[in-house]
């Protein structure tokens, strides 16, 4: 296998708006990130993925870009950005930008021109279509609710297409001129020295441009965006062209945000000659999402979760590398989602971290995950900012939930859970800002914060540091990076996660006891060394059985 510069690296996602506010306006910013680079470095981070920092009206928190060549003034200036790049370089770190090119903001000049004159030169950058019998051109439901088609103001029976919010018109990737504009922009950032991109919602660029109706799957008579994407084809050629014109020339690291890929396409996506370096594994998140919406409660089930993880790892094994996450800015906090009530403690959080960070692939830590940040308990819908959450709340009400029940669903699933400000210390607003934070801080910051954990050798933060150091330890880095992933499903007590990372040199066993009981795990090989233990005790009997306490995680060299 050809060696790549990003093999063996560890990444962190930073959500700029909520990381650190350097100028008291309540909004995190680039200078704030710069001031925390040493913190990230000490955590063992090599690659930082920045959620969008481009100019934007922030209808969808920067995922609606109005100028791809400018930094959002809320976050700072291009000079700040260049400083960030230089400071990262100094520390041997790599910067990965968010690439949002399925759509732009309705305030982007391309769309402003297009909507003024859909028949003019910019009209073909988007999808304008005539309605059908007084209705929208097709029955597609946008990701954020309502039709994907929005009437063009002042034009009878003309609509434009948006898979997400109406302020996020989809770009027409079948227009060569538009594609070239995008390649040019990507190369401009790569020339600047960014190391690569996380590529947003990329499957959505493929369309069946005849826009046929599909069977409705809800009382609104619409069909889901997932169906719409799945019925389209041709993504392979589009992504290949994109890669050849941009990423490939710079040896860039790319990670695709890929939903609804056809299973047989995995090789094409992340194989050695694939479209992307890696793509995120969302299989565990799809379990909790609910097929029709958040109102469908799906409690955490250990077996289903483990099987999803294992299956994804096995499928990728002979193909390439996945990027492994337990949470991101679209998902609730992993510690709140993938741990049962009795595991809601530091040991549980460390166990989940162990399970995730030692998988085969590129580990991504989302800001705050490393201190065990949890979901936020809102007492009313007013406490949310996210447009997706508001839509899901309304949907839950329409589906017969009471307000209280709808709120429970949002508290469990809201994207704002992970978007609450980072918890740095016990000062006001968790030390995130000395102004008024743009989104209320989680009150649990008095217990969960960086400063308190820095000084506690047994804290979650210090455990994360041990984990990243272990993964990069020269004695084990080969095995953790390139070694096989071998799931252990047989002869293992219920609710114990067990997998091996192994190569010709060594075998490393990762164990986590998700059950409430102490259990015994029979080992086939003798233990040479305990590489990591999230609890104090390590007990092994004469029969070679290791005793695992509830929420105990062990990494054993066999």
Residues designated as active site: 200, 257
Shortest Cβ distance from residue 1 to ligand TEU (Å)?
30
In the list Ca ion, ligand TEU, none, the entry touching 129 (Cβ below 5 to 8 angstroms by class) is none
* Cβ pair 283, 312 in contact under 8 A: yes
Told to check if 201 binds ligand TEU by CB under 6 A, we report yes
Told to check if 330 binds ligand TEU by CB under 6 A, we report yes
Told to check if 164 binds ligand TEU by CB under 6 A, we report yes
Q: Which ranges in 8-128 belong to alpha helices (H)?
A: 30-34, 37-42, 78-90, 109-116
Shortest Cβ distance from residue 364 to ligand TEU (Å)?
13
In the list ligand TEU, Ca ion, none, the entry touching 357 (Cβ below 5 to 8 angstroms by class) is none
CA dihedral for 480, 486, 489, 493, sign (positive or negative): negative
Shortest Cβ distance from residue 81 to Ca ion (Å)?
14
Tokens at residue 242, please? 């994109």
Q: Binders of ligand TEU: how many residues, by CB under 6 A?
A: 13
Exposed/middle/buried for 537, CB within 10 Å: 0-12, 13-18, 19+? exposed
CA dihedral for 335, 340, 345, 346, sign (positive or negative): negative
Told to check if 49 binds ligand TEU by CB under 6 A, we report no
Report the 10 Å Cβ neighbour count for 327.
26
Specify the residue, 19 or 269, whose C-beta has the smaller distance to Ca ion: 19
Distance CA 86, CA 299 (A): 45
* Cβ pair 442, 373 in contact under 8 A: yes
Residue from 80, 200, 327, 347 touching ligand TEU (CB under 6 A): that is: 200
Q: Which of residues 115-144 bind ligand TEU (CB under 6 A)?
A: 143
In the list Ca ion, ligand TEU, none, the entry touching 94 (Cβ below 5 to 8 angstroms by class) is none
Shortest Cβ distance from residue 329 to ligand TEU (Å)?
6
Specify the residue, 313 or 389, whose C-beta has the smaller distance to ligand TEU: 389
Specify the residue, 17 or 415, whose C-beta has the smaller distance to ligand TEU: 415
Residue 332's closest CA among 414, 444, 440, 421? Answer: 414
Helix or strand run (H / E) with residue 208 = none
Per-residue binding string, ligand TEU, 403-442, x by CB under 6 A, is ------------x---------------------------
Q: Which ranges in 319-372 belong to alpha helices (H)?
A: 334-337, 346-357
Shortest Cβ distance from residue 17 to ligand TEU (Å)?
12
- The residue sitting closest to ligand TEU, measured at its beta carbon, is 63
Shortest Cβ distance from residue 389 to ligand TEU (Å)?
9
Q: What does the binding site for Ca ion look like in residue numbers (CB under 5 A)? A: 21, 23, 25, 27, 29
Residue 255: beta bridge partners? 198, 278
Distance CA 133, CA 543 (A): 76
Q: Is 223 helix (H, G, I), strand (E, B) or coil?
A: strand
Distance CA 278, CA 269 (A): 8
* Cβ pair 211, 137 in contact under 8 A: yes
Whole-angstrom CA distances from 144 to 53, 64, 116, 163, 489 are 22, 14, 25, 8, 39
Shortest Cβ distance from residue 386 to ligand TEU (Å)?
9
Specify the residue, 21 or 80, whose C-beta has the smaller distance to Ca ion: 21
Whole-angstrom CA distances from 264 to 60, 203, 231, 316 are 32, 15, 15, 11
In the list Ca ion, ligand TEU, none, the entry touching 25 (Cβ below 5 to 8 angstroms by class) is Ca ion
Report helix angle 346-357 to 460-472, nearest 10.
20
Specify the residue, 53 or 357, whose C-beta has the smaller distance to Ca ion: 53
In the list ligand TEU, Ca ion, none, the entry touching 63 (Cβ below 5 to 8 angstroms by class) is ligand TEU
In the list ligand TEU, Ca ion, none, the entry touching 60 (Cβ below 5 to 8 angstroms by class) is ligand TEU
Specify the residue, 236 or 435, whose C-beta has the smaller distance to Ca ion: 435
* Cβ pair 425, 450 in contact under 8 A: yes
Distance CA 120, CA 111 (A): 11
CA dihedral for 9, 353, 407, 143, sign (positive or negative): positive
In the list Ca ion, ligand TEU, none, the entry touching 23 (Cβ below 5 to 8 angstroms by class) is Ca ion
Q: Which of residues 508-547 bind ligand TEU (CB under 6 A)?
A: none
Told to check if 54 binds ligand TEU by CB under 6 A, we report no
DSSP state of 97: E
Told to check if 388 binds ligand TEU by CB under 6 A, we report yes
In the list ligand TEU, Ca ion, none, the entry touching 29 (Cβ below 5 to 8 angstroms by class) is Ca ion
Specify the residue, 64 or 347, whose C-beta has the smaller distance to ligand TEU: 64
Specify the residue, 378 or 492, whose C-beta has the smaller distance to ligand TEU: 378
Specify the residue, 42 or 286, whose C-beta has the smaller distance to ligand TEU: 286
Q: What is the dihedral of CA 450, 456, 457, 460, to 10 degrees?
A: -40
Told to check if 63 binds ligand TEU by CB under 6 A, we report yes
Per-residue binding string, ligand TEU, 289-328, x by CB under 6 A, is ----------------------------------------
* Cβ pair 394, 145 in contact under 8 A: yes
Told to check if 15 binds ligand TEU by CB under 6 A, we report no
List strands edge to edge, sheet with 128-130: 128-130, 158-161, 149-151
Binding residues for ligand TEU, rule: CB under 6 A, are 60, 63, 100, 143, 164, 200-201, 257, 259, 329-330, 388, 415
């Amino acid at each position: 296998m050809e060696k790549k510069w990003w093999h063996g690296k560890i990444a962190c996602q930073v959500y700029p708006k909520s990381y650190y506010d350097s100028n008291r306006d309540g909004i995190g910013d680039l200078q704030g990130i710069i001031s925390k680079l040493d913190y990230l470095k000490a955590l063992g981070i090599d690659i930082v993925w920045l959620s969008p920092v481009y100019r934007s009206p922030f209808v969808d928190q920067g995922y609606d870009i109005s100028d791809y060549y400018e930094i959002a003034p809320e976050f700072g200036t291009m000079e700040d950005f260049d400083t960030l790049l230089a400071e990262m370089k100094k520390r041997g770190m790599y910067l990965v930008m968010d690439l949002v090119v399925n759509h732009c903001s309705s305030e982007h000049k391309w769309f402003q021109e297009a909507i003024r004159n859909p028949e003019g030169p910019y009209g073909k950058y988007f999808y304008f279509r005539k309605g059908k019998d007084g209705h929208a051109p097709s029955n597609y439901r946008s990701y954020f609710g309502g039709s994907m088609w929005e009437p063009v103001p002042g034009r009878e029976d003309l609509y434009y297409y948006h898979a997400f919010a109406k302020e996020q018109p989809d770009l027409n990737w079948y227009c060569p001129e538009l594609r070239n504009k995008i390649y040019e922009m990507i190369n401009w950032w790569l020339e600047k020295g960014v190391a690569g991109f996380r590529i947003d919602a990329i499957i959505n660029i493929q369309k069946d441009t005849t826009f046929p109706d599909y069977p409705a799957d809800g009382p609104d008579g619409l069909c889901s965006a997932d169906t719409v994407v799945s019925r389209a084809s041709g993504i392979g050629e589009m992504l290949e062209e994109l890669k050849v014109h941009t990423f490939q020339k710079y040896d860039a690291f790319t990670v695709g945000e890929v939903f609804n890929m056809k299973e047989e396409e995995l090789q094409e996506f992340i194989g050695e000659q694939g479209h992307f370096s890696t793509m995120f594994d969302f299989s565990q998140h799809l379990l909790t999402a609910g097929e029709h919406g958040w109102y469908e409660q799906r409690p955490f089930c250990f077996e289903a979760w483990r099987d999803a993880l294992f299956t994804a790892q096995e499928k990728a094994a002979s193909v390439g590398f996945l990027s492994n996450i337990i949470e991101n800015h679209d998902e609730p906090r992993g510690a709140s989602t993938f741990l049962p009530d009795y595991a809601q403690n530091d040991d549980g959080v460390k166990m989940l971290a162990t399970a995730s960070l030692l998988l085969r692939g590129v580990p991504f830590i989302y800001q705050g995950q490393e201190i065990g940040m949890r979901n936020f308990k809102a007492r009313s819908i007013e406490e949310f900012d996210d447009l997706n959450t508001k839509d899901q709340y309304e949907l839950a009400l329409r589906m017969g939930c009471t307000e209280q029940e709808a709120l429970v669903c949002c508290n469990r699933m809201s994207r704002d859970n992970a978007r609450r400000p980072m918890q740095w210390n016990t000062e006001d607003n968790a030390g995130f800002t000395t102004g008024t934070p743009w989104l209320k801080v989680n009150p649990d910051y008095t217990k969960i914060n960086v400063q308190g954990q820095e000084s506690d050798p047994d804290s979650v933060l210090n455990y994360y540091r041990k984990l990243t150091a272990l993964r990069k330890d020269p004695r084990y880095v080969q095995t953790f990076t390139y070694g096989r992933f071998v799931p252990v499903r047989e002869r293992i007590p219920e609710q114990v996660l067990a997998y091996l990372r192994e190569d010709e040199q060594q075998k490393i066993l990762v164990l986590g006891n998700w059950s409430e009981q102490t259990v015994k795990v029979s080992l086939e090989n003798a233990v040479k060394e305990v590489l990591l233990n999230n609890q104090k005790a390590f007990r092994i009997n004469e029969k070679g059985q290791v005793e695992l306490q509830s929420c105990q995680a062990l990494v054993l060299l066999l």
